[in-house]
Structures are given as structure tokens and as C-alpha cells.
Amino acid sequence: MTQITPGGYQVRVNYGNAVSPSPPEPPKQTPQQLQARTLAVARALEPKQAVGFRKVRLGRDFDGGYILLDDFVDIGAALSFGVSDDVSWDLDIAARNILVHQFDHTVERSPVDNPLFRFYRQRVSGTVVPGAVSLDSIVERCLAGCERAILKIDIEGDEWEVFKSASPASLERFSQIVCEFHALKHAGDVGWSEYFQDTLTKLRAVFEVVHVHGNNAGPFVNIANVVLPDLLEVTFANRRYYEFAETNEIFPTALDQPNLPAGPDMRLGCFKF
């Protein structure tokens, strides 16, 4: 199916393929304009450190694991968007006695039974996608009375619409969010760049980025001499609960693993622009 994003782009969306634009062709830009747009997106993803907190990997080795701050005190529930056949992250959350609400419209049920799992066969996206449920509606349904929650989101491109349409009040409910962002190869495109920037500005009003990891199932892309991974896993921590400082941490860290184990991990350095 398709949807239209700001800027007039038509986007093909399904959970098996990341978003990709189709005609009309984007307006022509100078290389300097293209680089400036790309840098604006990249700088919104620069990581900092959460003072006094170490990190931990949740989920299985290689693809399926994500890095979070090791802080699960008073977490009332977790949302897991996009489970497919891998619930290793969900199991590690449940092992901490946290209820996990799972959403995925591409499978009949959760592949693993667990008393702390609640599965919903529904697509999660934004308000412009017919038949999808929004983050606001899920927060209202699943997080009533829950002050602090965690969100994991890997839904092959729909993450941009999820965050774009979410209210600040819904985002504030999460102490941490871990998300795989898709299609950064379009970070400099007219329309796409503003769409990405607006979404990340909304997130950065509530969160700081504390971890990044490139998914080596996708390539590095060189956009006007700015090099980014097309697929980027990002961990956000809520400003309400943490203090932040500048960091010179090198990514990938010792906790990270390549998503495709046959290939090397993606060297991001300090990921500063």
C-alpha cells in the first residue's frame, strides 16, 4: 500500500521493506543544500551520555538485541511494536517482571507464550495510514495508570509516522525508547528532510539520544559527503529522569553486535557532525 508524506512523496509501506519514495522526482538541489539538509537530520541523532547509568543489551545475539540504560525501576509496562518471529527482547523485559504489550499485524500471534505477554494483531502507524492504530490510542488503552513505560519499535518505516502523529503527552510516558529508523538515505531530499527533522525535533523535546548502532543489513550512504547508515538503531532517554553530558564514546560499543553476523559491524565513530 502507499501513503503520502509532507512534500508530496508517495511512499510504499510494508513490514518487509523500508519506506522508499516513488515519483514525483524531488526538486533539484545544489550539493551544498543537500549537505545542509542531511547534516540537520544527522545532528538531531548525535548521542550523549546519561550520567551515572550504565547500558545493557536486551534481546538475543545479533539481530533482535537492543541497547538500553540499565534502569528498569518503576517501569509499569513495555510496548513492543513489530515482533515477527523474534521476541527475545520481550522475554528479557518480561524476565524483569514487566508486562509487555506486543503489536504486529503481519503474524497471527506471538511466537512464544508468556504470562506477561499481551498480543494485538494490529498495525501501528500514524493517523494517515488507514486501519492502523496510533501511539496515542495505544497509550490510552495499554498504559492507563502507568507513569513510566518503555517502547521498542521496529516496524520497517512506519516509525516515522508513529512519532510524527504522537502527542507530546504520549511520548512523555516513556522513560526510554529504542527504535530502528529506516530510509536515512533520503535525509537530504526535499520533503523527506523536513519530515525527518520535524519528527526528530518532537522527540528531542522530550528525549536525548544515548546510543546509536548501524544495522549492517543496510548500506552506508554518502549524501553530499555526509556518510550515514541507511538503517540506524537509536536509544532515547527521557530528560525528566536523566541528566546528560557530552560523550566521546565510540560506536559500535562492546555491547553491540552486527545484525548480519557474517559481516562486520558498522563503524560510526563518535557519530558527531
Domains of the chain: 29-245 (3.40.50)
- At residue 214, the pLDDT reads 98
- At residue 137, the pLDDT reads 97
Q: Which residue has the higher pLDDT, 152 or 8?
A: 152
- Write down the mean pLDDT value for the chain: 92
Q: What is the share, in percent, of the chain residues with pLDDT greater than 70?
A: 90
- Cα Rg of the chain, angstroms: 18
**CA nearest to 246, candidates 212, 270, 214:** 270
Does residue 14 carry a pLDDT above 80? no
Cell numbers linked to 72: 528498569
Average pLDDT for 106-133: 94
- Which residues are 67's β-sheet partners? 57
Residues 186-245: pLDDT tens digits? 999 999 999 999 999 999 999 999 999 999 999 999 999 999 999 999 999 999 999 999
Q: What is the share, in percent, of the chain residues with pLDDT greater than 90?
A: 87
- At residue 11, the pLDDT reads 42
Residues 80-94: pLDDT tens digits? 999 999 999 999 999
Distant-in-sequence, close-in-space partners of 99: CB < 8 Å, separation ≥ 6: 76, 77, 78, 116, 118
Q: Read off the pLDDT band of 2 (50, 70, 90).
A: very low
Does residue 21 carry a pLDDT above 70? no
Distant-in-sequence, close-in-space partners of 63: CB < 8 Å, separation ≥ 6: 86, 215, 217, 259, 260
- At residue 244, the pLDDT reads 98
Q: What is the pTM of this model?
A: 0.91
Does residue 120 carry a pLDDT above 70? yes
Q: Which residue has the higher pLDDT, 3 or 40?
A: 40
Q: Read off the pLDDT band of 6 (50, 70, 90).
A: very low
- Range from 87-91, 124-128, 167-171, 249-253 carrying the lowest mean pLDDT: 124-128
Average pLDDT for 152-158: 96
- At residue 196, the pLDDT reads 98
- At residue 13, the pLDDT reads 41
- At residue 129, the pLDDT reads 87
Backbone angles phi, psi at 11, to 5 degrees: -120, 130
